Amino acid sequence: MPSEAKVLQFNDCAFVARSLVSAAARAGIDWGYLPPEKVRPMTAAPKNPLLAKARFVPYVLRRRAALHAADVVHVHYGTSVRLIKERAMPERPYVLTLHGTDIRQQWKAAAFHDEIQRAIDGAAHVFYANTDNQDDATTARSDAEFFPSVVDLPRLPQWKPEARPQVMFISRWDDDKGVGKQLELAKELSRALAGKADLVGLNWGPGAAQAEANGVRLLEKMPQQQYYEQLSRSAVGIGQASNYFSTSEFEAMCMGLPVAALGSRLPRPDDGSVPPVMEGELSDVVAQVVEAVAEPQSSSARLGGADWAVPRYDAAAYVPRLQELYQRISG
């Protein structure tokens, strides 16, 4: 029997890599993990050019040591591949997951296209994490496969909506999340829910100030587990106004929250299913949210969001598939 492949999960997006590492550990599989803050500096560079250059030294040494200890690397996000390809780094086969903006925007931009295409071409295998990326990802790499933004279920608290209903906008306020439509929805929900529920959202993104002006109480960015607790107390979650969902929406659905979102979602490439949520035009969504606020438990049961999301987004369900892939690549 060949020895088990030594795997490094490199970088992260929406804690997907962390969720995979945690799920693998519960299955008795030890995967290495270098989160974003350990692969590169996360703060602004000092003005002194020598200090600016010197601050990379511990990160380079850490990356090099982690790569030496690995047989195969799973890189999360297209531009992160350059960090395992620097001169000081040992050569390792890698799997690449395209997490969204890298293939949705940067791959199409002159400044990044060649770099991301090289990263895609050099990968032993390529995944894409969002349903809207299917055409672009398979154009860039014909054998690219859908791999969803998985969730670490044991980290999610039990859904317990508070007696005073809270409706929470799940995503940040920016263009990727359909901020223009979200702001309009916030204004209408603020009117419709006046005296019935609190409307909250994160103080994150260029549209946050306008969201506050439209009636949303802003919450400062918080540790992830605290965010989960805040979400678990909500009667309804408001998903992004785009044709796809991100990890946060699936986390809310896995908890059991009834989720609402403007428009409609693209089907999953693997099974053709779509998230069972309250959706449609502005007036439709507002009416459904008002109804769900009055009876969140029955709305959750009617939608069946958790029954749909848990088997499709539980990280543990994907560990065996990945382990087989890593073993094949490393061998």
Tell me: the pLDDT tens digits for 215-242? 999 999 999 999 999 999 999 999 999 9
- The tokens describing 91, both together, are 């050569």
Does one domain contain both 178 and 300? Answer: yes
Q: State the average pLDDT over residues 237-254.
A: 97
CA dist 231 → 19, 158, 159, 253, 286 (Å): 18, 10, 8, 11, 19
pTM of structure? 0.95
How many structural domains compose the chain?
A: 2
Phi and psi, residue 3, nearest 5°: -70, 155
Looking up residue 73, the CATH number of its domain turns out to be 3.40.50.2000
State whether 224 and 266 are in the same domain: yes
Q: What percent of the chain has pLDDT over 70?
A: 99
Instruction: Flag whether 233 is in a domain.
Output: yes
Residue at 283 is within a domain: yes
Burial class (CB in 10 A: 0-12, 13-18, 19+), 100: buried
Which range of residues forms the domain containing residue 139?
Answer: 7-150+315-330
Instruction: Indicate if 106 and 170 belong to the same structural domain.
Output: no
Is the predicted pLDDT of residue 112 greater than 60, yes or no?
Answer: yes
Q: Averaged over 65-80, what is the pLDDT?
A: 98
Average pLDDT, the chain: 96
* 22 lies in some domain: yes
Q: Are residues 110 and 183 located together in one domain of the fold?
A: no
The residue among 45 and 247 whose pLDDT is bigger is 247
In a domain, 227, yes or no: yes
Helix axes 319-330, 16-26, angle to 10 degrees: 90
DSSP states of 142-153: TT-EE----B-G
Spatial separation of the C-alpha atoms in residues 121 and 100, rounded to whole Å = 17
Nearest by Cα to 229 from 209, 257, 204, 198? 257
In a domain, 1, yes or no: no
* 21 half-sphere exposure, CB direction, 13 A CA radius: 19
Cα separation, 201 vs 172, in Å, equals 8
Task: List, for residues 265-304, the tens digit of each pLDDT value.
Answer: 999 999 999 999 999 999 999 999 999 999 999 999 999 9
User: Same domain, yes or no, for 194 and 159?
Assistant: yes
- Across the range 38-56, mean pLDDT stands at 86
Judge if 301 and 160 occupy the same domain.
yes
Inform me whether the pLDDT recorded for 142 exceeds 80: yes
- Confidence (pLDDT) at 1: 45
What's the rounded Cα separation, in Å, for the pair 206 and 176?
11
Are residues 187 and 205 both part of a single domain?
yes
Percent of the chain with pLDDT over 90: 93
pLDDT for position 2: 62
pLDDT at position 263 over 50: yes
* One domain for residues 307 and 165: yes
- Clarify whether residues 165 and 308 are in a common domain: yes
Over the stretch 171-227, which tens digit does the pLDDT of each residue have? Answer: 999 998 999 999 999 999 999 999 999 999 999 999 999 999 999 999 999 999 999
Q: Are residues 300 and 165 in the same domain?
A: yes
Whether 189 and 161 share a structural domain: yes
Q: Do 244 and 145 share a structural domain?
A: no
Task: Tell me, yes or no, whether 2 lies in a domain.
Answer: no
